[in-house]
Chain A
Protein backbone atom coordinates (compact mmCIF):
# COMPACT_ATOMS: atom_id res chain seq x y z
CA UNK A 1 0.00 0.00 0.00
CA UNK A 2 2.93 2.40 0.74
CA UNK A 3 4.41 1.75 -2.74
CA UNK A 4 0.98 2.48 -4.27
CA UNK A 5 0.93 5.93 -2.65
CA UNK A 6 4.53 6.80 -3.53
CA UNK A 7 4.21 5.70 -7.16
CA UNK A 8 3.44 9.08 -8.63
CA UNK A 9 4.01 12.75 -7.81
CA UNK A 10 0.38 13.66 -7.04
CA UNK A 11 -0.03 10.85 -4.52
CA UNK A 12 3.41 11.62 -3.00
CA UNK A 13 2.34 15.26 -2.58
CA UNK A 14 -0.84 14.23 -0.79
CA UNK A 15 1.06 11.94 1.59
CA UNK A 16 3.57 14.77 2.35
CA UNK A 17 0.67 17.17 3.03
CA UNK A 18 -0.82 14.84 5.63
CA UNK A 19 2.58 14.03 7.20
CA UNK A 20 3.30 17.77 7.63
CA UNK A 21 -0.03 18.18 9.43
CA UNK A 22 0.87 15.33 11.79
CA UNK A 23 4.34 16.86 12.47
CA UNK A 24 2.74 20.21 13.41
CA UNK A 25 0.66 18.59 16.15
CA UNK A 26 3.40 18.75 18.88
CA UNK A 27 3.35 22.58 18.46
CA UNK A 28 -0.10 22.65 20.12
CA UNK A 29 -0.70 24.45 23.42
CA UNK A 30 -2.51 22.83 26.32
CA UNK A 31 -5.93 24.45 26.78
CA UNK A 32 -7.55 24.21 30.20
CA UNK A 33 -11.26 23.39 30.54
CA UNK A 34 -12.24 26.94 31.55
CA UNK A 35 -10.50 28.27 28.41
CA UNK A 36 -12.59 26.12 26.05
CA UNK A 37 -15.64 28.38 25.73
CA UNK A 38 -14.97 29.01 22.03
CA UNK A 39 -13.92 25.43 21.27
CA UNK A 40 -17.11 24.13 22.90
CA UNK A 41 -19.36 26.31 20.72
CA UNK A 42 -21.73 24.07 18.75
CA UNK A 43 -20.64 25.69 15.45
CA UNK A 44 -17.03 24.63 16.13
CA UNK A 45 -17.93 20.95 16.10
CA UNK A 46 -15.56 19.02 13.79
CA UNK A 47 -18.25 16.48 12.92
CA UNK A 48 -21.10 16.82 10.43
CA UNK A 49 -24.33 18.58 11.28
CA UNK A 50 -27.46 16.39 11.42
CA UNK A 51 -28.88 18.49 8.59
CA UNK A 52 -25.91 17.49 6.38
CA UNK A 53 -26.88 13.81 6.45
CA UNK A 54 -29.08 14.03 3.33
CA UNK A 55 -26.37 16.03 1.51
CA UNK A 56 -23.72 13.39 2.25
CA UNK A 57 -26.11 10.69 1.00
CA UNK A 58 -26.78 12.26 -2.39
CA UNK A 59 -23.07 13.07 -2.83
CA UNK A 60 -22.15 9.41 -2.26
CA UNK A 61 -24.81 8.38 -4.83
CA UNK A 62 -23.87 10.94 -7.48
CA UNK A 63 -20.05 10.85 -7.18
CA UNK A 64 -17.43 8.14 -7.49
CA UNK A 65 -15.75 8.99 -4.18
CA UNK A 66 -16.97 8.31 -0.66
CA UNK A 67 -15.63 8.09 2.87
CA UNK A 68 -13.37 10.09 5.23
CA UNK A 69 -16.29 12.38 6.07
CA UNK A 70 -18.25 10.35 8.66
CA UNK A 71 -20.83 9.63 5.94
CA UNK A 72 -21.35 6.57 3.76
CA UNK A 73 -18.16 4.79 2.83
CA UNK A 74 -19.83 2.21 0.59
CA UNK A 75 -22.28 -0.57 1.18
CA UNK A 76 -25.69 -0.28 2.76
CA UNK A 77 -27.27 0.98 -0.45
CA UNK A 78 -27.54 0.22 -4.16
CA UNK A 79 -24.99 2.89 -4.93
CA UNK A 80 -21.24 3.23 -5.67
Chain B
Protein backbone atom coordinates (compact mmCIF):
# COMPACT_ATOMS: atom_id res chain seq x y z
CA UNK B 1 0.00 0.00 0.00
CA UNK B 2 2.83 2.31 0.92
CA UNK B 3 4.59 1.49 -2.38
CA UNK B 4 1.47 2.34 -4.38
CA UNK B 5 1.10 5.63 -2.49
CA UNK B 6 4.77 6.61 -3.04
CA UNK B 7 4.64 5.68 -6.75
CA UNK B 8 1.52 7.76 -7.29
CA UNK B 9 3.04 10.73 -5.42
CA UNK B 10 6.20 10.44 -7.54
CA UNK B 11 4.19 10.41 -10.78
CA UNK B 12 2.17 13.47 -9.71
CA UNK B 13 5.37 15.34 -8.82
CA UNK B 14 6.91 14.45 -12.22
CA UNK B 15 3.87 15.69 -14.14
CA UNK B 16 3.82 18.92 -12.11
CA UNK B 17 7.49 19.62 -12.87
CA UNK B 18 6.94 19.20 -16.66
CA UNK B 19 4.04 21.66 -16.62
CA UNK B 20 6.35 24.31 -15.16
CA UNK B 21 8.67 24.34 -18.24
CA UNK B 22 8.33 27.64 -20.07
CA UNK B 23 8.41 27.45 -23.90
CA UNK B 24 10.63 30.48 -24.58
CA UNK B 25 10.51 29.96 -28.35
CA UNK B 26 6.88 31.15 -28.49
CA UNK B 27 7.48 34.20 -26.26
CA UNK B 28 6.68 37.45 -28.11
CA UNK B 29 7.52 40.73 -26.45
CA UNK B 30 4.59 43.17 -26.21
CA UNK B 31 6.88 46.12 -25.71
CA UNK B 32 7.15 48.46 -28.67
CA UNK B 33 10.79 48.35 -29.70
CA UNK B 34 12.96 49.65 -32.52
CA UNK B 35 13.67 46.84 -34.98
CA UNK B 36 15.86 48.75 -37.43
CA UNK B 37 16.76 52.24 -38.64
CA UNK B 38 17.65 52.98 -42.25
CA UNK B 39 19.43 56.07 -43.51
CA UNK B 40 19.39 56.55 -47.28
CA UNK B 41 21.26 59.41 -48.96
CA UNK B 42 21.39 60.05 -52.67
CA UNK B 43 23.19 62.52 -54.93
CA UNK B 44 21.80 63.01 -58.44
CA UNK B 45 23.20 65.20 -61.22
CA UNK B 46 21.81 65.51 -64.75
CA UNK B 47 22.75 67.35 -67.94
CA UNK B 48 20.68 67.81 -71.09
CA UNK B 49 19.53 70.31 -73.70
CA UNK B 50 15.75 69.94 -73.93
CA UNK B 51 14.39 71.87 -70.95
CA UNK B 52 10.57 71.99 -70.82
CA UNK B 53 10.60 75.34 -69.00
CA UNK B 54 12.11 76.93 -72.14
CA UNK B 55 9.88 75.07 -74.60
CA UNK B 56 12.04 72.00 -75.29
CA UNK B 57 15.39 73.78 -75.73
CA UNK B 58 17.91 74.94 -73.16
CA UNK B 59 19.88 73.47 -70.28
CA UNK B 60 18.43 70.66 -68.16
CA UNK B 61 21.28 70.89 -65.66
CA UNK B 62 19.98 69.80 -62.25
CA UNK B 63 21.44 68.60 -58.98
CA UNK B 64 19.42 66.89 -56.26
CA UNK B 65 20.46 65.75 -52.79
CA UNK B 66 18.01 63.43 -51.05
CA UNK B 67 18.07 62.17 -47.48
CA UNK B 68 15.58 59.76 -45.91
CA UNK B 69 15.52 58.34 -42.39
CA UNK B 70 13.22 55.40 -41.71
CA UNK B 71 12.51 53.92 -38.27
CA UNK B 72 10.82 50.53 -37.99
CA UNK B 73 9.18 49.57 -34.68
CA UNK B 74 7.58 46.24 -33.84
CA UNK B 75 5.42 44.79 -31.09
CA UNK B 76 3.07 41.84 -30.53
CA UNK B 77 -0.45 41.91 -29.16
CA UNK B 78 -2.29 39.45 -26.88
CA UNK B 79 -3.29 37.35 -29.90
CA UNK B 80 0.40 37.08 -30.97
CA UNK B 81 -0.15 39.23 -34.04
CA UNK B 82 2.88 41.25 -35.11
CA UNK B 83 2.39 45.01 -35.40
CA UNK B 84 4.94 46.99 -37.42
CA UNK B 85 5.09 50.79 -37.48
CA UNK B 86 7.24 52.54 -40.10
CA UNK B 87 7.96 56.23 -39.59
CA UNK B 88 9.83 57.95 -42.40
CA UNK B 89 11.08 61.47 -43.00
CA UNK B 90 12.57 62.56 -46.30
CA UNK B 91 14.10 65.83 -47.46
CA UNK B 92 15.25 66.66 -51.00
CA UNK B 93 17.04 69.82 -52.03
CA UNK B 94 17.52 70.57 -55.71
CA UNK B 95 19.01 73.30 -57.86
CA UNK B 96 17.92 73.55 -61.48
CA UNK B 97 19.13 75.63 -64.40
CA UNK B 98 15.80 75.22 -66.19
CA UNK B 99 13.42 76.16 -63.36
CA UNK B 100 15.62 79.27 -62.96
CA UNK B 101 14.19 80.27 -66.38
CA UNK B 102 10.62 80.72 -65.15
CA UNK B 103 11.75 84.35 -65.44
CA UNK B 104 13.74 84.41 -68.70
CA UNK B 105 15.48 87.65 -67.79
CA UNK B 106 16.73 86.52 -64.37
CA UNK B 107 20.29 85.23 -64.07
CA UNK B 108 19.63 83.68 -60.71
CA UNK B 109 16.05 83.76 -59.45
CA UNK B 110 14.38 82.24 -56.40
CA UNK B 111 12.95 79.46 -58.57
CA UNK B 112 16.43 78.04 -59.29
CA UNK B 113 16.30 76.00 -56.04
CA UNK B 114 13.68 74.30 -53.91
CA UNK B 115 13.36 71.93 -50.96
CA UNK B 116 10.82 69.12 -50.61
CA UNK B 117 9.80 67.57 -47.30
CA UNK B 118 7.98 64.22 -47.29
CA UNK B 119 7.11 62.50 -44.04
CA UNK B 120 5.07 59.29 -43.92
CA UNK B 121 3.71 56.88 -41.31
CA UNK B 122 2.46 53.34 -41.88
CA UNK B 123 1.18 50.48 -39.74
CA UNK B 124 0.92 46.76 -40.56
CA UNK B 125 -0.65 43.96 -38.53
CA UNK B 126 0.50 40.46 -39.47
CA UNK B 127 -1.11 37.24 -38.29
CA UNK B 128 1.76 34.78 -38.70
CA UNK B 129 -0.36 31.71 -37.94
CA UNK B 130 -3.01 32.57 -40.56
CA UNK B 131 -0.54 34.06 -43.06
CA UNK B 132 -2.54 37.28 -43.50
CA UNK B 133 -1.72 40.93 -42.96
CA UNK B 134 -3.48 44.27 -43.16
CA UNK B 135 -1.94 47.74 -43.19
CA UNK B 136 -2.62 51.44 -43.63
CA UNK B 137 -0.49 54.53 -44.18
CA UNK B 138 -0.51 58.31 -44.48
CA UNK B 139 1.94 60.55 -46.32
CA UNK B 140 2.58 64.22 -47.03
CA UNK B 141 4.83 65.94 -49.56
CA UNK B 142 5.40 69.69 -49.62
CA UNK B 143 7.48 71.95 -51.84
CA UNK B 144 7.07 75.59 -52.86
CA UNK B 145 4.53 75.01 -55.63
CA UNK B 146 3.10 71.57 -54.76
CA UNK B 147 1.41 69.94 -51.74
CA UNK B 148 0.26 66.35 -51.54
CA UNK B 149 -1.70 64.37 -48.97
CA UNK B 150 -1.71 60.59 -49.46
CA UNK B 151 -3.31 57.56 -47.86
CA UNK B 152 -3.12 53.83 -48.53
CA UNK B 153 -4.51 50.48 -47.43
CA UNK B 154 -2.71 47.16 -47.96
CA UNK B 155 -4.07 43.62 -47.68
CA UNK B 156 -2.11 40.41 -48.17
CA UNK B 157 -2.66 36.69 -47.76
CA UNK B 158 -0.37 33.68 -48.16
CA UNK B 159 -1.40 30.36 -49.67
CA UNK B 160 -1.98 27.33 -47.39
CA UNK B 161 1.48 25.91 -48.08
CA UNK B 162 3.05 29.39 -47.60
CA UNK B 163 4.70 29.30 -51.03
CA UNK B 164 2.53 32.00 -52.58
CA UNK B 165 1.35 35.42 -51.45
CA UNK B 166 -1.25 37.76 -52.88
CA UNK B 167 -1.11 41.49 -52.07
CA UNK B 168 -3.54 44.30 -52.88
CA UNK B 169 -2.78 47.97 -52.20
CA UNK B 170 -5.06 50.96 -52.70
CA UNK B 171 -3.60 54.47 -52.70
CA UNK B 172 -5.04 57.96 -53.06
CA UNK B 173 -3.16 61.25 -53.42
CA UNK B 174 -5.06 64.52 -53.02
CA UNK B 175 -2.68 67.15 -54.40
CA UNK B 176 -2.64 70.91 -54.96
CA UNK B 177 -0.63 72.63 -57.69
CA UNK B 178 0.24 76.32 -57.28
CA UNK B 179 -0.18 77.67 -60.79
CA UNK B 180 3.00 79.65 -61.23
CA UNK B 181 3.08 80.85 -64.83
CA UNK B 182 6.20 81.92 -66.78
CA UNK B 183 6.84 85.59 -65.99
CA UNK B 184 6.00 86.94 -69.48
CA UNK B 185 2.61 85.16 -69.49
CA UNK B 186 1.36 86.62 -66.20
CA UNK B 187 -1.43 89.16 -66.55
CA UNK B 188 -2.51 89.65 -62.91
CA UNK B 189 -1.16 92.06 -60.30
CA UNK B 190 0.37 89.24 -58.19
CA UNK B 191 4.15 89.02 -58.38
CA UNK B 192 4.36 85.21 -58.21
CA UNK B 193 1.28 83.75 -59.72
CA UNK B 194 -1.68 84.46 -61.92
CA UNK B 195 -4.25 81.99 -60.69
CA UNK B 196 -4.90 80.16 -57.43
CA UNK B 197 -4.20 76.52 -56.71
CA UNK B 198 -5.63 73.69 -58.79
CA UNK B 199 -6.40 70.18 -57.66
CA UNK B 200 -4.73 67.02 -58.96
CA UNK B 201 -5.97 63.66 -57.65
CA UNK B 202 -4.45 60.22 -58.16
CA UNK B 203 -6.09 56.89 -57.35
CA UNK B 204 -4.04 53.73 -57.71
CA UNK B 205 -4.83 50.04 -57.25
CA UNK B 206 -1.82 47.73 -57.17
CA UNK B 207 -1.97 43.93 -57.22
CA UNK B 208 0.85 41.42 -56.93
CA UNK B 209 1.26 37.69 -56.59
CA UNK B 210 4.54 36.06 -55.59
CA UNK B 211 5.24 32.35 -55.92
CA UNK B 212 8.09 30.10 -54.90
CA UNK B 213 8.85 27.81 -57.86
CA UNK B 214 11.52 25.66 -56.22
CA UNK B 215 14.34 25.92 -53.65
CA UNK B 216 16.28 28.39 -55.82
CA UNK B 217 13.65 30.25 -57.85
CA UNK B 218 10.77 32.60 -57.14
CA UNK B 219 8.73 35.04 -59.21
CA UNK B 220 6.30 37.88 -58.73
CA UNK B 221 3.65 39.26 -61.09
CA UNK B 222 2.58 42.88 -60.55
CA UNK B 223 -0.07 45.10 -62.07
CA UNK B 224 -1.44 48.56 -61.33
CA UNK B 225 -4.42 50.59 -62.50
CA UNK B 226 -3.86 54.31 -61.98
CA UNK B 227 -6.35 57.09 -62.61
CA UNK B 228 -5.36 60.75 -62.43
CA UNK B 229 -7.77 63.70 -62.61
CA UNK B 230 -7.42 67.44 -62.39
CA UNK B 231 -4.65 69.82 -63.43
CA UNK B 232 -2.07 67.43 -64.90
CA UNK B 233 0.18 69.95 -66.68
CA UNK B 234 3.00 71.92 -65.09
CA UNK B 235 2.08 75.64 -65.31
CA UNK B 236 5.64 76.95 -65.80
CA UNK B 237 6.41 74.68 -68.79
CA UNK B 238 6.39 76.69 -72.03
CA UNK B 239 5.28 75.67 -75.53
CA UNK B 240 6.47 77.70 -78.53
CA UNK B 241 4.22 77.50 -81.59
CA UNK B 242 5.16 77.56 -85.29
CA UNK B 243 4.25 81.24 -85.55
CA UNK B 244 6.65 82.14 -82.71
CA UNK B 245 3.96 82.74 -80.06
CA UNK B 246 4.22 81.08 -76.66
CA UNK B 247 1.80 79.57 -74.16
CA UNK B 248 1.83 77.36 -71.04
CA UNK B 249 1.81 73.59 -71.49
CA UNK B 250 -1.82 72.34 -71.71
CA UNK B 251 -2.64 68.68 -71.11
CA UNK B 252 -5.95 66.78 -70.63
CA UNK B 253 -7.52 66.67 -67.16
CA UNK B 254 -7.53 62.89 -66.96
CA UNK B 255 -4.98 60.13 -67.44
CA UNK B 256 -5.32 56.35 -67.08
CA UNK B 257 -2.13 54.33 -66.69
CA UNK B 258 -1.78 50.53 -66.78
CA UNK B 259 1.64 49.04 -66.01
CA UNK B 260 2.16 45.25 -65.84
CA UNK B 261 5.37 43.78 -64.48
CA UNK B 262 7.11 40.54 -63.64
CA UNK B 263 10.09 39.96 -61.34
CA UNK B 264 12.19 36.82 -60.92
CA UNK B 265 15.05 35.83 -58.61
CA UNK B 266 17.16 32.74 -59.25
CA UNK B 267 20.02 31.46 -57.08
CA UNK B 268 22.44 29.98 -59.60
CA UNK B 269 24.99 27.77 -57.82
CA UNK B 270 26.26 28.99 -54.46
CA UNK B 271 27.47 32.52 -55.17
CA UNK B 272 25.52 34.08 -58.03
CA UNK B 273 21.95 35.37 -58.07
CA UNK B 274 20.09 36.45 -61.19
CA UNK B 275 17.39 39.08 -60.67
CA UNK B 276 15.25 40.14 -63.60
CA UNK B 277 12.42 42.60 -64.07
CA UNK B 278 10.24 43.38 -67.07
CA UNK B 279 7.43 45.95 -67.29
CA UNK B 280 5.00 46.83 -70.05
CA UNK B 281 3.22 50.19 -69.70
CA UNK B 282 0.44 51.89 -71.59
CA UNK B 283 -1.72 54.97 -70.98
CA UNK B 284 -4.42 57.02 -72.71
CA UNK B 285 -1.96 59.81 -73.60
CA UNK B 286 -0.46 57.53 -76.24
CA UNK B 287 2.65 56.46 -74.33
CA UNK B 288 3.63 52.83 -74.53
CA UNK B 289 6.86 51.62 -72.95
CA UNK B 290 8.95 48.56 -72.19
CA UNK B 291 11.41 48.27 -69.32
CA UNK B 292 13.88 45.42 -68.82
CA UNK B 293 16.29 45.21 -65.89
CA UNK B 294 18.89 42.60 -64.99
CA UNK B 295 20.92 42.59 -61.78
CA UNK B 296 23.50 39.93 -60.90
CA UNK B 297 24.53 39.97 -57.20
CA UNK B 298 27.75 38.03 -56.71
CA UNK B 299 28.51 36.89 -53.16
CA UNK B 300 32.26 37.47 -52.75
CA UNK B 301 31.93 36.16 -49.19
CA UNK B 302 28.69 35.30 -47.31
CA UNK B 303 28.70 38.91 -46.02
CA UNK B 304 30.00 40.94 -48.97
CA UNK B 305 28.29 41.09 -52.34
CA UNK B 306 28.80 43.08 -55.53
CA UNK B 307 25.76 43.72 -57.75
CA UNK B 308 26.26 44.99 -61.29
CA UNK B 309 23.01 45.96 -63.04
CA UNK B 310 21.70 47.12 -66.39
CA UNK B 311 18.32 48.61 -67.22
CA UNK B 312 16.98 49.33 -70.70
CA UNK B 313 13.90 51.49 -71.27
CA UNK B 314 12.08 52.56 -74.39
CA UNK B 315 8.90 54.57 -74.89
CA UNK B 316 6.73 55.99 -77.67
CA UNK B 317 5.81 59.67 -77.69
CA UNK B 318 2.66 61.04 -76.14
CA UNK B 319 0.16 62.16 -78.81
CA UNK B 320 0.33 65.65 -77.26
CA UNK B 321 4.10 66.04 -77.65
CA UNK B 322 5.93 68.03 -80.32
CA UNK B 323 9.37 69.71 -80.25
CA UNK B 324 10.12 73.44 -80.18
CA UNK B 325 8.05 75.52 -82.65
CA UNK B 326 6.19 72.57 -84.16
CA UNK B 327 2.80 72.88 -82.41
CA UNK B 328 0.13 75.07 -83.95
CA UNK B 329 -2.59 76.95 -82.08
CA UNK B 330 -5.11 74.51 -83.66
CA UNK B 331 -4.03 71.86 -81.13
CA UNK B 332 -6.28 71.57 -78.09
CA UNK B 333 -3.51 69.98 -75.96
CA UNK B 334 0.23 70.54 -76.33
CA UNK B 335 3.52 69.92 -74.57
CA UNK B 336 7.21 70.15 -75.43
CA UNK B 337 8.30 68.19 -72.34
CA UNK B 338 10.86 65.69 -73.65
CA UNK B 339 10.04 63.28 -70.78
CA UNK B 340 6.86 62.57 -72.81
CA UNK B 341 8.69 62.22 -76.17
CA UNK B 342 9.87 59.08 -77.98
CA UNK B 343 13.23 57.91 -76.58
CA UNK B 344 15.19 54.99 -75.23
CA UNK B 345 17.53 54.98 -72.25
CA UNK B 346 20.18 52.86 -70.56
CA UNK B 347 21.01 52.75 -66.89
CA UNK B 348 24.23 50.94 -66.02
CA UNK B 349 25.87 50.63 -62.64
CA UNK B 350 26.87 48.51 -59.68
CA UNK B 351 26.40 48.27 -55.94
CA UNK B 352 28.47 46.91 -53.06
CA UNK B 353 26.92 45.56 -49.88
CA UNK B 354 28.63 44.82 -46.56
CA UNK B 355 26.66 42.95 -43.87
CA UNK B 356 29.04 41.09 -41.49
CA UNK B 357 27.33 39.40 -38.49
CA UNK B 358 29.60 41.19 -36.00
CA UNK B 359 28.72 44.60 -37.48
CA UNK B 360 30.41 46.83 -40.06
CA UNK B 361 33.88 47.98 -38.83
CA UNK B 362 33.20 45.89 -35.70
CA UNK B 363 30.35 48.20 -34.61
CA UNK B 364 27.68 45.75 -33.41
CA UNK B 365 24.58 47.80 -34.22
CA UNK B 366 25.84 48.92 -37.66
CA UNK B 367 24.44 45.89 -39.42
CA UNK B 368 24.73 46.86 -43.11
CA UNK B 369 26.18 49.43 -45.50
CA UNK B 370 25.33 49.53 -49.19
CA UNK B 371 26.64 51.89 -51.87
CA UNK B 372 25.22 52.06 -55.41
CA UNK B 373 26.33 54.06 -58.43
CA UNK B 374 24.58 54.31 -61.80
CA UNK B 375 24.99 56.22 -65.06
CA UNK B 376 21.77 57.01 -66.95
CA UNK B 377 21.64 58.17 -70.54
CA UNK B 378 18.84 58.87 -72.99
CA UNK B 379 19.32 58.88 -76.77
CA UNK B 380 17.89 62.43 -76.84
CA UNK B 381 20.96 64.19 -75.44
CA UNK B 382 20.33 63.80 -71.73
CA UNK B 383 22.41 61.94 -69.16
CA UNK B 384 22.65 61.67 -65.41
CA UNK B 385 24.71 60.12 -62.62
CA UNK B 386 23.40 58.95 -59.27
CA UNK B 387 25.14 57.63 -56.18
CA UNK B 388 23.22 56.27 -53.18
CA UNK B 389 24.28 55.20 -49.69
CA UNK B 390 22.16 53.05 -47.35
CA UNK B 391 23.15 52.50 -43.73
CA UNK B 392 21.16 50.05 -41.61
CA UNK B 393 21.29 50.12 -37.82
CA UNK B 394 19.75 47.26 -35.82
Contacts and interface: CB of A to CB of B under 8 A. Distances in A.
B259 A67 contact: yes
A35 to B, nearest CB: 5
Interface in A19-64: 21-22, 25, 27-31, 33, 35-36, 38-39, 41-46, 49-55, 57-59, 61-64
B161 interface: yes
Contacts of B345: 63
Given A21-B221, A22-B221, A68-B281, A28 B372 contact: no
A66 B216 CA distance: 29
A45 B264 CA distance: 9
B220 to A, nearest CB: 5
A54 B42 contact: yes
Nearest to B263: A46
B299 A43 contact: yes
Contacts of B386: 54-55, 58
Interface string B203-236: 0101000111111101111111010100000100
Given A41-B273, A63-B289, A67-B226, A31 B212 contact: yes
A65 interface: yes
Contacts of B46: 58, 62
Contacts of A67: 204, 206, 224, 226, 257, 259, 281
B40 A64 contact: no
B241 interface: no
Given A55-B388, A68-B224, A76 B216 contact: no
Given A31-B215, A41-B273, A49 B260 contact: no
A65 B42 contact: no
A65 B213 contact: no
Interface residues of B, number: 98
B146 interface: yes
A67 B339 CA distance: 16
B318 A64 contact: yes
Given A11-B282, A51-B370, A76-B150, A68 B200 contact: no
Given A51-B370, A51-B390, A66-B259, A73 B204 contact: yes
A77 to B, nearest CB: 6
A60 B363 CA distance: 36
B171 A44 contact: no
B305 interface: yes
Nearest to A22: B221
A71 B322 CA distance: 28
A80 B202 CA distance: 11
Nearest to B298: A43
A44 B315 CA distance: 29
A53 B68 contact: yes
Nearest to B384: A58
B325 to A, nearest CB: 22
Contacts of A55: 42, 347, 372, 374, 386, 388
Contact of A68 (B150, B260, B371, B389): B260
A75 B201 contact: yes
Given A39-B212, A74-B228, A80-B339, A65 B279 contact: yes
A68 B291 CA distance: 11
A69 B307 contact: no
Nearest to A77: B141
Given A21-B221, A75-B204, 11 more contacts: A18-B221, A25-B164, A43-B299, A49-B372, A55-B42, A58-B386, A68-B223, A69-B222, A69-B279, A80-B339, A80-B340
15 contacts: A18-B221, A44-B267, A54-B44, A55-B347, A55-B386, A62-B339, A63-B289, A63-B339, A68-B260, A68-B281, A74-B255, A75-B202, A76-B141, A77-B141, A80-B339
